[in-house]
Amino acid sequence: MIFDTHAHYDDEAFDEDRDEVLTSLREWGVGTVVNVGASMEGSRRSVSLSEQYEFVYSAVGVHPDEVGELREEDMEWMREQLQKPKVVAVGEIGLDYYWDKEGHDLQKKWFLRQLELAKELKKPVIIHSREAAADTMELLKANYHGEMPMVMHCYSYSMEMAREYRKMGLYLGIGGVLTFKNAKKLKEVVENIPLTSIVLETDCPYMAPEPNRGKRNNSAYIRYVAEKIAELKGITYEEVVEQTEKNAREMYRL
């Protein structure tokens, strides 16, 4: 069944019908969801969603746009949460020089700090990196020891970079962008990277694939992404779903 490795059902976009959306996912072939924290509040809500729904797991972490709120005691809270069996990863953490909401030094500081926590606890890591390819690579190379599986969420860089990440054993998170007309570079990456390195994600409520581009996204729409991967690779939809689920389980150790 479809494994959505990256969702934000804690987002207020789901306030009206969260339970309805989540409980209907099985009908659409979605078997597992990892709800990913982006702020401290979002991380708290992620944990509670994973306590509420059997098929939902959570990740705790703070997105580069939100690191201004972080304090050392928040690391303690994360450490405690990460002992819980349904809290499976640290994320999303990283660098975002596109929105550039916080200074680069501060972004790097907390990216590293959260990476260290993952390393200490040997937990998988979900990385957010936008227009920060070189710095992300540099920080990862210096700190990656292969003990924690990692995913480059919403992969947006080049084929060359994808090869580098693959050498380091990272998974690439592929979502709605793949179905966009102008996603030439990403299509090239998906065509050339083995399916064993790909995991599926929504990043919902954002990034809805065609034909729902611009609407609120949810894990049921992942099938359009899986269909596109199947088409690009000349394999069946079922193969894509099966292999990416296997990859996701390996990555999150489920």
Query: Please, what is the minimum distance in Å from the beta carbon of residue 55 to Ni ion?
Result: 19
Query: Please, what is the minimum distance in Å from the beta carbon of residue 203 to Ni ion?
Result: 4
Residue 217 vs residues 121, 163, 199, 210, 236: alpha-carbon distances, Å? 32, 29, 17, 10, 24
Query: Please, what is the minimum distance in Å from the beta carbon of residue 214 to Ni ion?
Result: 17
Q: Which is nearer to Ni ion, 87 or 194 (CB)?
A: 87
> How deeply is 227 buried, as exposed, middle or buried, from its count of CB atoms within 10 A (0-12, 13-18, 19+)?
middle
Query: Can you say whether the dihedral through the CA atoms of 150, 219, 2, 192 is positive or negative?
Result: negative
Q: How far apart are CA 63 and CA 60, in angstroms?
A: 10
Q: Which is nearer to Ni ion, 12 or 160 (CB)?
A: 12
Kindly state the tokens that stand for 40: 């401290």
Query: Please, what is the minimum distance in Å from the beta carbon of residue 126 to Ni ion?
Result: 8
Q: Which is nearer to Ni ion, 217 or 247 (CB)?
A: 217
Query: Is residue 68 a contact partner of residue 233, using CB atoms and an 8 Å limit?
Result: no
Residues that bind Ni ion (CB under 5 A): 203
Q: Which is nearer to Ni ion, 102 or 203 (CB)?
A: 203
